[in-house]
Structure 1
Amino acid sequence: MSTPFGLDLGNNNSVLAVARNRGIDIVVNEVSNRSTPSLVGFGPRNRYLGESGKTKQTSNVKNTVENLKRIIGLNFRDPEFDIENNFFTSKLVELKNGKVGAEVKFGGKTHTFSATQLTAMLIDKVKHTVQQETKSTITDVCLAVPVWYSEEQRYNIADAARIAGLNPLRIVNDVTAAAVSYGVFKNDLPGPEEKPRIVGLVDIGHSTYTCSILDFRKGELKVLGTAYDKHFGGRDFDRAITEHFADEFKAKYKIDIRQNPKAYNRILNAAEKLKKVLSANTNAPFSVESVMDDIDVSSQLTREELEELVKPLLERVTDPISKALSQAKLTVNGVDFVEIIGGTTRIPVLKRSISDAFGKPLSSTLNQDEAVAKGAAFICAIHSPTLRVRPFKFIDLDPYSVSYIWDKQAEDEDHLEVFPANSPYPSTKLITLYRTGDFRMEARYTDPSKLPKGTPVTIAKWNFTGVNVPEGQDSVPVKVKLRCDPSGLHIIESAYTLEEITVQEPVPLPEDAPEDAEPVFKEVTKTVKKDTLGMTVETFGLNPVELNNLIEKENELTNQDKLVAETEDRKNALEEYIYTLRAKLDDEYSDFASDAEKKKLKNALATTEDWLYDDGEDSTKAKYVAKYEELASLGNVIRGRYLAKEEEKRQALRANQETSKMSDIAEKLAAQRKAQAGSGDDGENTDENMDLD
């Protein structure tokens, strides 16, 4: 049975949640953290994923790729690439398909990986984390992504999950996932016939600011409006602090951290910690040892100074709120509550700005870091055939208008806006076309000017075959089922031809008709389904051959990482055994080995130790195992004697304890018998004395 898995793929950290034990649990990683760094690093022999990548980031800065969710589906020539490139320490390159990839040193060679591959590596890592923690199979996942993700990016993230061996049951907007978490676990929501609760949900994470206006009733959620600022988040605050200190240290210490990626990254990490300290304190010291050129730096920053540094950002706070309210056709007075999530909303000045924009106090009843992952896990559980969950219906909004275009045949129209902007989904529409033969259709964004720059206008293409036009007819009607599915993807579910047939239908008899009256029939023309058409589709998704190749590549890399980890483990075990056995030979095992045996074993230990720090520094797992077994074959003989003697001592001690115990029992029984006998004599003497009186 697969455990439903919800993944909040954050730009800085990812949060993992599963539905189990009649609830939603956050999964901790290998170091017991409730979130995992969203980055991938590459080393001489293996990859550093998640926590290990973060640990090695400072020393491996050029071969560590982060901000994965920002570059997936991004064109290298996109104007936004220049913005994103400022946040990368690894080298970003243009792939053959025009997309962004990362060039890194891995295993002594230069490798280029696509953003989809890099994201798949992280997803594979967190999948194994969940499997190890839950001791269960993980096959299905619900992925939470930014509202602004295009159709192409949603296909790419789904492909990344497939490369990692998961089935992406649903791609959900992250704010909607958090709203589901709110709606499911809030017990005081109005009923179906009552006035709905209107909630403004503001999510400001590491890189994106999103505001949604939501309509809640018990068991139901509707998204009324959503707006976002794609380049507003915690990383912008970190960068502002870092740039401030870069200028200060250049003047104060005559060093330019902008020219040294490692130094800049160290200050950036320290700036992130300083930002968190200033969220709870009015001022804080700032110091980093040996930033570059063996120079230690120190300074301080006040909350007021930070607010001045980020003033341009704060001026943009109200825009997403105003747009979301406008889309929902509401004013701030129509909003009942304002909920905030996302780590960046902990900054006091930002909270004040949001509160001022809505004109009411803020609520934080949701866990700011975990609400999205919990909502995604619940949504995944909804689709699970093995779990029963509380019924909850939710409807999201499609921000862009989508039209379907087809070959112009006969005199009919050649396009139709099927899903207008801000229309709810999932949604299904049926259209009828009159075709003279096989045809093509496309789904396109209706108004390209409303799209983020660089977004492809064409979403998908379909080819239909099997259209047979009967003799004597110019065309045949074709019914096409169009759908914006639960993941926000525009698809065609089916297409089939129609034909008109004539059937005999009984005519109702008058009420005064005799009982033996003959039934009367009339001819009726009906339109019925005739032939299901063949359909092939071209989408942004990987074709089966490409997908299988990338799955095999990821499996190879995973096995390589596993082998390196096991090899390192065997090496450490051998090193530990050398030191442990050498110490015990002069202590515990001293009386159980002859001088010749000690000499032989110590020589073997010294020889293996020399090999381990020379030729064996970078050897194979099999070699380490062989060396260990070679030493163990000598050491286990002596250890066996020691254990035999220890067992003999334990047996003797146990026998003594049992003898002592039996002796104690015998003494107690004897004492009891003596006490009982003595008690009888005293009673008789007492009686005699009483008689004498």
Structure 2
Amino acid sequence: MMSSSVVGFDVGSVTSYIGAAKGGGVEIIANEVSDRCTPSCVAFNGASRFLGSAAEQQMVTNIANTVTSFSRLIGKMGNDPIVKIEREFAFYQIVCGCDGRAAIQVQINGNSVVLLPEQVLAMHLHKLAEIAEANLGTKIVDVVLSAPSYFTDRERRALLDASRIAGLNCMRIVSETTAIGIAYGLTKKDLPSVDQPPRNVAFVSLGNSSLQIAVISFNAGKMKVVSAACDPCLGGRDFDMCIFNHVAKEIEEKYNLKVLHNKKASLRLLKSCERLKKVMSTNSTKIPINVECLMDDTDISSSMNREFFESLCVPLLVRIKATMEKALAQSNLKPGELHSVELVGGGTRIPAVKKLVKDVFGMDGSTTLNADEAVARGCALQAAICSPAFKVREFSIVDACPYSISLHWKPTDELLESVNDDGAGELAKGTTTEVFKHLANFPSSKQLKFYRKGDFTLTACYSNPESLHIANPSIGTFKITNVVPTPPDSLCQVRIKARVNSNGIFTISNAVIMDRVEKEVDVPAEDSKAETTASAVTAQTKMDAVSEASVVNEPPKPPAAAVAPTTDTGAEQLPAKQKKVVLRPRDIPVEATTSHLSHEQLLEFTDFQAKLNQHDKIERERLHLKNALEAYVYEMRDKLETCLLQHTTVAERDSFKELLNETEDWIYGEGEDAKKSVISNRLDTLKQTGDRFCIRFSEFESRPLAIRALSNACENIQRVVESYSSGDSNYDHLCKEDMTKVENALRAKQQYLQTFLETVGKLQPTSDPSVFSADLYNAKNELDRICNPIISRPKPAPPPPPPAAASTENCGTKNEETNKGHVDDTTPNSSAKSATDLPNDCKEPKAPAAGEDMDVD
């Protein structure tokens, strides 16, 4: 069962967003610096690791050990074309790691360490979980992760591995365009009903490094991805590079500076070009660009307007237009059949991109969704759908496979044409078959049948390798084992179920052998035996699996009425027994070999991650203690010249100042990398002296108030004792024993106060106090505890007054006469007379007659 708090992580190449279902909606969680987006950045400096905003601050000063865009490398091999492109953008070193995987080389504590992108992503996911936990106040375990829609099986499995290393349970991997569709569909209450034509919406997402476009149809309570197209290597950073390359060439001609040969200068100039692009998106005039001390203490300046910028980006705009047209063509829809086009991602703010949207789709792009947070919101809603702790209205989600998938196997000598097939599932012939077509719906399953005499292996791969952004189209191999036919040396039917699950991952979910066995079954009477047997065999061969119990345990049909046995030849006969061949399923194991990290690798990386997390915790505590030591030095140095001046001698001040100065020099020198225990000892040493001075000052300030508090309490109780002794009526209800206890307690505290005053009178401002204000407050509290319950005891209530006399003399006399003349209650005349003779004001009120209303106050 999932935890009560579930979150969605949108991990982009530059920034990440955290969405949480909360308070009937979705909240985007801010990080420790109150920023709603957290940089996707991990930095290593010495033995320390920095994540998020702290890592981003080191990008310029620690450029070689600051890793960004690691999500672009996850699940990739070192020879993939997309990795070659990433090397052009990365300022850190990308190498080939274990098994030929793309990896990242950094320096940790002076040692060269090679990390897989899965490990770096796990560090970032752990940071996002910490941010969510700090905001939600609960442990985060269950998450939903976003993935670009073009991610292959290998990359999606790598996401699951990264979440396992981070100690998280990834409940679902959602394509980014699908997450955007969820954020759109679940918030729209005006969608057409199921029996009406769907609302078709195109979503254009241009992020920092990729372009993704999808057409999704919506009805009330469901959505279906109709088409999807993408360009994995086209994003906002490519527009930045257009400006960067132009300005770098201009700088080389104008200032004779080769910016491309200096990583730090290139990073600073690239940041300035990104800001220039954003400003040109809202201004058509010429915009200046200035960078101080870019290289060799040289300040550079340039300028650019939007028209010239768009001329530089013509090749990029052509690729964007082609991707839009591809998505529209795959949907088999005309522009007029689209309801709207939603723009998502920072790159869609470029005016030239907006113009392309209108040219291709025939309408202006809508911005009803938050361009930066839409994916995170969709992931959070998907997390709420998966969680039993949230009640979300029913919403069906059908995604589309971005690539077609095929199965391959080695040819066999069996003649499948001679097999008497039962027609259930697809008969696998030849050596290959396409299991899932391009844009096929998922999650979905497909059943295939093989006739084999022994074990065999299936290889899954993508049907069109040229459509991939990676070099290896293989998905994995699946060995079907324990294939033992019954009877031996015969062909047995093996049914395998191929599935693309809700994470977009292909697998052979199970395999069964359909054994043919003979069983005795009951059959009807002779006149209908042939017809019934034929229909039973036909139905049996069309079933996926028939259990033994379903045939044997079925009782014979009883006759319509009980008839006595007879020897008549036309009487009904008992059912007969007959042998029949039935199919009985038998599960067999499937050994899968995929791109997942091995169990040993996961344990190794998880252990490494735990050690880094523990080191980060100790380092945070060390830095916190170091900051506390530094703050104490500055605080005490200031107090020695102000409030502690009259409470310390000249010799004490000089000695303590020298110790403070020595500690300050140590902090910025040898103490820079000192251990936590050493810093703690330094702080304790300072406090042994500094706190003693502070106690002198605090006692000097608080002592008069404490003396006054105890003195006032004694005076108040003394007045009560004197009033009691003088016979004051307010205290005459108090007993003598209790007042004796009050007098004794008062006398003891007065004596204690007198002793305290005598001791304090001998103290100098520079002397350490031997008695403390807290003792006075304790004495006051003890006095109040003993005396207050006695002196505040209320007087007892006065006795009740005697009962009042009769209201009138006549009434009393008449009652007396009536009592004398009373004979018996059962005598109606006498009782009636007594009631009649009473005056009106002395008569008892009559009960109301039946049906008469009573007045109720």
TM over 0.5: yes
Normalising by structure 2, report the TM-score. 0.73
AA at the equivalent of 1:535: V
The answer on 1:644 being equivalent to 2:699 is: yes
Alignment of 1:328-477 (within 5 A): 328-409=331-412, 410-412=414-416, 413=429, 414-454=431-471, 456-471=472-487, 474-477=490-493
Matched residue, 1:536: 591
Query: Are 1:506 and 1:520, in contact at CA under 8 Å, matched by a contact in 2?
Result: yes
Looking at structure 1, the residues matched to 515 and 640 of structure 2 have their Cα atoms a distance apart, in angstroms, of 93
SS in 1 for 2:9: strand
Alignment of 1:650-689 (within 5 A): 651=706
AA at the equivalent of 1:158: L
The answer on 1:133 being equivalent to 2:135 is: yes
AA at the equivalent of 2:435: V
Unaligned runs of 5+ in 2: 417-428, 529-557, 564-571, 715-857
Superposition deviation, residue 60 in structure 1: 1.4
Matched residue, 2:671: 616
Matched residue, 2:642: 587
Superposition deviation, residue 444 in structure 1: 2.0
Looking at structure 1, the residues matched to 411 and 173 of structure 2 have their Cα atoms a distance apart, in angstroms, of 34
SS in 1 for 2:504: coil
Looking at structure 1, the residues matched to 315 and 467 of structure 2 have their Cα atoms a distance apart, in angstroms, of 25
Matched residue, 1:577: 632
CA 1:193–1:577 in structure 2 vs 1: closer, same or farther (change >3 Å)? same
Superposition deviation, residue 439 in structure 1: 2.9
Unaligned runs of 5+ in 1: 660-693
The answer on 1:312 being equivalent to 2:315 is: yes
Matched residue, 1:123: 125
Q: Answer 1 or 2: higher relative contact order, Cα 8 Å, separation at least 6.
A: 1
Alignment counterpart, residue 500 of structure 1, candidates 516, 519, 526: 516
Alignment counterpart, residue 607 of structure 1, candidates 618, 639, 662: 662
Superposition deviation, residue 514 in structure 1: 5.8
Looking at structure 2, the residues matched to 648 and 497 of structure 1 have their Cα atoms a distance apart, in angstroms, of 91
Looking at structure 1, the residues matched to 699 and 359 of structure 2 have their Cα atoms a distance apart, in angstroms, of 78
Query: Are 1:208 and 1:230, in contact at CA under 8 Å, matched by a contact in 2?
Result: yes
Alignment counterpart, residue 193 of structure 1, candidates 192, 195, 207: 195
Looking at structure 2, the residues matched to 621 and 90 of structure 1 have their Cα atoms a distance apart, in angstroms, of 31
Superposition deviation, residue 463 in structure 1: 2.5
Query: Are 1:42 and 1:105, in contact at CA under 8 Å, matched by a contact in 2?
Result: yes
Query: Are 2:204 and 2:212, in contact at CA under 8 Å, matched by a contact in 1?
Result: yes
Looking at structure 2, the residues matched to 657 and 586 of structure 1 have their Cα atoms a distance apart, in angstroms, of 35
The answer on 1:100 being equivalent to 2:155 is: no
Matched residue, 2:303: 300
Query: Are 1:63 and 1:105, in contact at CA under 8 Å, matched by a contact in 2?
Result: yes
Alignment of 1:275-290 (within 5 A): 275-283=277-285, 284-290=287-293
Matched residue, 2:275: 273
Looking at structure 2, the residues matched to 368 and 613 of structure 1 have their Cα atoms a distance apart, in angstroms, of 45
Superposition deviation, residue 2 in structure 1: 4.6
Superposition deviation, residue 535 in structure 1: 2.7
The answer on 1:486 being equivalent to 2:502 is: yes
CA 1:62–1:499 in structure 2 vs 1: closer, same or farther (change >3 Å)? same
The answer on 1:51 being equivalent to 2:53 is: yes
Alignment of 1:201-220 (within 5 A): 201-220=203-222
Root-mean-square deviation (Å): 2.4
Superposition deviation, residue 189 in structure 1: 0.7
Looking at structure 2, the residues matched to 392 and 481 of structure 1 have their Cα atoms a distance apart, in angstroms, of 27
Query: Are 1:38 and 1:67, in contact at CA under 8 Å, matched by a contact in 2?
Result: yes
Looking at structure 2, the residues matched to 317 and 657 of structure 1 have their Cα atoms a distance apart, in angstroms, of 85
CA 1:575–1:435 in structure 2 vs 1: closer, same or farther (change >3 Å)? same
AA at the equivalent of 1:500: R
AA at the equivalent of 1:131: E
SS in 2 for 1:417: strand
Deviations 1:547-597 (A, max 9, x none): 010011111122222222222221111111011011112211223334443
Looking at structure 1, the residues matched to 650 and 404 of structure 2 have their Cα atoms a distance apart, in angstroms, of 88
Matched residue, 1:679: none
Query: Are 1:437 and 1:467, in contact at CA under 8 Å, matched by a contact in 2?
Result: yes
- In our comparison, the structure showing a higher alpha carbon Rg is 2
SS in 2 for 1:238: helix
Superposition deviation, residue 104 in structure 1: 2.0
Query: Are 2:486 and 2:515, in contact at CA under 8 Å, matched by a contact in 1?
Result: no
Alignment of 1:160-239 (within 5 A): 160-239=162-241
Looking at structure 2, the residues matched to 268 and 206 of structure 1 have their Cα atoms a distance apart, in angstroms, of 13
Query: Are 1:507 and 1:520, in contact at CA under 8 Å, matched by a contact in 2?
Result: yes
Superposition deviation, residue 297 in structure 1: 1.6
Looking at structure 1, the residues matched to 581 and 289 of structure 2 have their Cα atoms a distance apart, in angstroms, of 80
AA at the equivalent of 1:478: V
Looking at structure 1, the residues matched to 621 and 644 of structure 2 have their Cα atoms a distance apart, in angstroms, of 30
SS in 2 for 1:198: strand
Q: After superposing the two structures, state which structure 1 stretch, 313-322 or 195-204, moved more.
A: 313-322
Identity of aligned residues (%): 33
Query: Are 1:500 and 1:525, in contact at CA under 8 Å, matched by a contact in 2?
Result: no
Normalising by structure 1, report the TM-score. 0.90
Superposition deviation, residue 245 in structure 1: 1.2
CA 1:448–1:576 in structure 2 vs 1: closer, same or farther (change >3 Å)? same
Query: Are 1:214 and 1:222, in contact at CA under 8 Å, matched by a contact in 2?
Result: yes
Query: What is the aligned length?
Result: 658
SS in 2 for 1:97: helix
AA at the equivalent of 1:611: W
